[in-house]
Structure 1
Amino acid sequence: METLKRTLREAPIVDRGEYQYFVHPVTDCLPEVQPDLLREIATAFEAVVDLDRVDKIITAEAMGVHHAAALSMQTDIPFVVARKRAYGFEDEVAVHQTTGYAEDELYINCIEDGERLLFVDDVYATGGTIRAMCDAIAETGGELVEAAVVIRRQTGEEPVDLPIEVQHLLEVDIVDGEVVILDDVTAEATE
């Protein structure tokens, strides 16, 4: 996770109202996303989740897409995206997500009854997206069996209760305008 750590320490910080936000390829595709970073993340995901339990990967538009795609290509597990617009398909399920800095509607399609899913995303701060996805996946007839994010972000807010444990690769906080790495779970998983 050396590439991820280095690039996080170099990430610029911007203010979104009262919320300090780091700008990074994982979370914003800025600067450009390098293939070695995606490979590093996909390999780390393999170390922290049980992919034998997973039929399909699911992510939320937009910043989980490149992580789900990299993991899908590395593991041959297909993935679907909860999109920000409705398509009107018969099995479509609406998801209302509230995060630390935004509120959106997402729409899930292409989940079959009984499918076991891995939810992948870029950041877990308050748990709003994951909570919404848990509820919506249950409505599709699928089963969320694993959840993993690249970064667990400390915000000082109490995260929402979740029905699933969320694995993360790194835990970070923003202190004095800089990203500080608090925990590297992948180092423990690969020892």
Structure 2
Amino acid sequence: MTDPGAYLVARAHEAMERLVVEVPDFPEPGVLFRDITPLLADHGGFTTVMEALATAGRDDSGAVQVDKVVGMESRGFILGAPVALALGVGFVPVRKQGKLPRETYAVTYDLEYGQATLEIHRDAIEPGDRVLLVDDVLATGGTVAATLELVRRCGGVAVGIAILMELAALNGRSAAGEVPLTVLTTL
């Protein structure tokens, strides 16, 4: 029997090859930016990608195995919210510092040049909730590691991470630790 998750990931990869546009020297010289807006604008491609990302929140039988989907600021919101809808569960945003109005947990992590802080509402995830993390790009892994820590502080259990694109040379995969990682395209 063919693995339906693997089939969906392969179809999503094909859609991304067709619809993600490479933009050289953006936002600065030497950077090759991958613009996902044409993918988002294409109903068929976007639907395929959302279905593929949602496989990370299902078990081998196709049953939903998560209680919440967490999307990391900011493109993780665009991807995570429809994944949560596809799985029939709630969506939780992880925001940059100072963007959430109520009591939060915060984690500060290192960037190439400086630091960043991410926050989550303290009551966004119930103790024991099974959580799927969703984001657009896995680079150095700082955002993933910080978000995993936020989920743990809330008492949640990360059961998977779903990523649109991984920049393999930056070894961000190591930040996932033992949490299963689903990547649609490796660059």
* TM band (smaller chain): 0.7 to 0.9
| Percent of residue pairs bearing the same amino acid type | 25
Q: Conserved in 2, the CA contact under 8 Å of 1:57 and 1:79?
A: yes
Query: Is 1:33 matched with 2:46?
Result: no
Once the two structures are superposed, what CA deviation does each residue of 1:108-157 show, in whole Å capped at 9, x if it has no partner?
A: 01111111100000011211111111112111111111111011112x33
Once the two structures are superposed, what CA deviation does each residue of 1:12-47 show, in whole Å capped at 9, x if it has no partner?
A: 12255686232312xxx4x58313332111111233
Across the aligned residues of Structure 1 and Structure 2, the Cα RMSD in angstroms comes to: 2.5
SS of the aligned residue for 2:74 comes to: coil
Structure whose residues are more often helix by fraction: 2
Q: Conserved in 2, the CA contact under 8 Å of 1:19 and 1:101?
A: no
What's the counterpart of residue 133 of structure 2?
A: 119
Unpaired stretches in structure 1, ≥5 consecutive residues: 173-191
Aligned-pair CA distance for 1:96:
2.2
Q: Conserved in 2, the CA contact under 8 Å of 1:55 and 1:77?
A: yes
Q: Conserved in 2, the CA contact under 8 Å of 1:113 and 1:141?
A: yes
Aligned-pair CA distance for 1:61:
1.2
Q: Conserved in 2, the CA contact under 8 Å of 1:98 and 1:129?
A: no
1-structure distance, mates of 2:142, 2:117: 12
Aligned residues: 165
SS of the aligned residue for 1:37 comes to: helix
Superposition misfits of 4+ residues, deviation over 6 angstroms: none
Unpaired stretches in structure 2, ≥5 consecutive residues: 1-11
